[in-house]
Chain A
Amino acid sequence: MGLDIMKIALADDDVDDRMLFEEAIESIAIKTQLNLFVDGQQLMDHLQKSKLALPEIIFLDLNMPIKNGMQCLQEIRGDQTLRHLCVAIYSTSSSEKDIEETFVQGANIYINKPNSFGALKKAIEKVLKINWQYHTSNLNKGNFLLRI
């Protein structure tokens, strides 16, 4: 039940999006520690290195250079020490087919990038609060699907 600080990772190649995300997370009441990555490869290298201090939740942009979000998701789900991590897809695509495919590939959460700061803050807050419940209560993590 102890979860004093929630560790969060975000991989997004857009500098503005990273900044907004950081600002939104800082304004939320849950204590967090955020790590930012500019592409999927950088994120995966970090995860491989920090196996003892893995994040409670990873936010992945789908379109990134070098390694995209879908490739990261598949690598994470295929890795014995990483596959239990909670993964949130954070993307502008709102195609039903794309969304369902990310869930089938093992994403827990799908967030359509909101177009206002207020909506972004609300979406992230909802995700963190629900993720917190999954980490501190006896909820079935294998069935954790959330679309915002």
Chain B
Amino acid sequence: MEIVHIAIDYDTICKKVLHDQLNGIGLDFTLNQLTEIQFQSPLSDHQKSEMGKALKTYGITLLKDRRQVMVQRIKDAIVELIYDSEKHRKHNVSTFLTQRLNYSYAYLSSQFSEVTHTSIENFIILKKIDAAKQLIIEKNLTLTEIAYRLNYSSVAHLSAQFKKTTGLTPSAFQRIIKKRGEKDIVPKQ
């Protein structure tokens, strides 16, 4: 048996899928951001449903209602902030979201909670812990490095939040994932 480790650039994959699928059904488009597609001419209902079907296989969903679109934009902005530690250090989340989306934070956070069953604050924690997990597994970084990258004030704070969010310590998590790898059990991708 041989195990080969890979690094994945999700943006590139997504862009390639969008291009292949949309060109495949003959649609001419430009990608404004990864979550906003602009078409030269209005789409018919048939084209929309074709596009929905083609993209669904890849886990890409067309957003229908205005609130869903807003929630997606909030999530995109949060991800941008989490993965750019410089930006994260400079801005606090509420001012960043307010500037980016041009609505009051109170309005954004009530819209977010209504649609997602969670608050913006809890979503940020979940997303940061998700990022921490990835860094533990893929890059083999120490908790000190991860805490710095994800803008935690200390390793203790990161560990405590990890434990509170997942019910597991970072080292138990790492041990489980490693054992899964040895047994070739990959539950969900």
Task: Known contacts A145-B168, A146-B167, A147-B168; decide if A100 and B176 are in contact (CB<8 Å).
Answer: yes
In the complex, identify which listed stretch (A19-27, A42-50, A131-139) lies at the interface while the others stay far away: A131-139
Query: B188 and A84: CB pair below 8 A?
Result: yes
Judge whether B188 and A145 touch: CB under 8 Å.
no
Q: Cβ of B134 < 8 Å from any Cβ of A?
A: yes
CA distance A87 to B180 in the complex (A): 15
Q: Does B187 make an interface contact (CB < 8 A)?
A: yes
Give the complex CA separation of A77 and B184 in angstroms.
10
Q: Are B180 and A132 in contact (CB under 8 A)?
A: no
Residue on B with the closest CB to A139? Answer: B130
Nearest CB on B from A12, distance (A): 21
CB proximity of A103 to chain B, nearest CB, Å: 5
Q: Once the chains are docked, how many angstroms separate the CA of A85 from the CA of B71?
A: 25
* Interface residue B5 (Cβ < 8 Å from any Cβ of A): no
Complex contacts, B105 vs chain A, CB 8 Å: none
Question: Is the beta-carbon distance between B167 and A148 smaller than 8 angstroms?
Answer: yes
Establish whether residues B168 and A140, one from each chain, have CB atoms under 8 Å apart when the complex forms: no
Q: Write out the residue numbers on chain A whose beta carbons fall within 8 Å of the beta carbon of B88.
A: none
Return the chain A residue nearest B186 by Cβ.
A142
- Cβ contacts under 8 Å, B68 to chain A: 1-2
Chain A: CB-nearest residue to B64 = A2
Count residues on chain B whose CB falls below 8 Å from chain A CBs: 35
A141 B79 Cβ-Cβ under 8 A: no
Neighbouring B residues of A130 by C-beta, 8 Å: 126
Q: Smallest distance from the beta carbon of A28 to chain B beta carbons, Å? A: 10
B110 at the interface (CB under 8 A from A): no
Given the complex, which residues of B lie within 8 Å of A137, measured CB to CB?
Answer: 75, 123, 127
Please state if A1 and B187 are interface contacts (CB–CB under 8 Å).
no
Contacts of A85 in B (CB 8 A): 188
A33-41, A59-67, A104-112 - the one binding chain B: A104-112
Task: Give Cα distance in the complex from A88 to B47, angstroms.
Answer: 39
Determine whether the beta carbon of B188 is less than 8 Å from that of A147: no
Q: Which residues of A contact B (CB under 8 A)?
A: 1-2, 29-30, 77, 83-87, 100, 103-108, 110, 128-130, 132-133, 136-148
What are 27 A-B pairs with beta-carbon distances under 8 A? Answer: A1-B63, A1-B72, A30-B117, A83-B187, A86-B188, A104-B183, A105-B185, A106-B180, A107-B187, A110-B167, A129-B117, A132-B116, A132-B117, A133-B126, A136-B116, A137-B127, A138-B75, A139-B130, A140-B130, A142-B186, A142-B189, A143-B130, A143-B137, A145-B167, A145-B168, A145-B176, A148-B167
Query: Given contacts A2-B68, A105-B183, A130-B126, could you give 16 more A-B pairs where the C-beta distance is less than 8 Å?
Result: A29-B117, A77-B187, A87-B187, A104-B180, A106-B185, A107-B187, A108-B187, A132-B118, A133-B116, A133-B117, A136-B116, A138-B10, A138-B75, A139-B126, A142-B186, A145-B167
